[in-house]
Amino acid sequence: MIHTEIVGRLRRAKSILKLRARRDAYFDADLFGEPIWDMLLDLFVAHMEGTTITTTSLCIASRVPQTTALRYISVMQEKRLIVSRKNEDDARMRILELTPQALGALNQYFDHCDGERGYRDDPAIPLKHDATDDGAKIAVNDFMQLLQTYMKDKSSIRVG
């Protein structure tokens, strides 16, 4: 696996989490109940960044009441999506991690989403070339800036 694939997966996971958090500023969070998805994404990001997640931290990431989050954590353990281990630094805390199967499924999911409009960090539009088909692309943001510049220039030209 190449480094860019790993970085791409991490960026997509962070982007999804960021968009979901941003959505909460506009709508009541309880309208979109996916606490297990939020927790899986949080665990995936932690794994990719080499950090650990405690039970308390994962409950907060779920954005639901702690008792509900703990119930979902139990469900994820039963479904073999996560495992719990002792925290070597503090015996009162537990560390939660994705199982290899869950990590593999998330990696496949993000690989599948690569190129899907909703999850691309920098969507691109293919460029048309006269002589070659090298797959060159322009980022949508760059295209929009070019279009705005073009439209601005066009509006300043007077005919007649």
The reported pLDDT for the residue numbered 155 is 54
112-125 per-residue burial string, b: 16 or more CB within 10 A, e: under 16: ebeeeeebbeeebe
Residue 138 pairs with which residues in a beta bridge? 125
Please report the pLDDT score of residue 57 as a whole number. 95
Query: In which residue ranges of the chain is pLDDT below 70?
Result: 1-2, 114-160
Q: So what's the pLDDT on residue 159?
A: 47
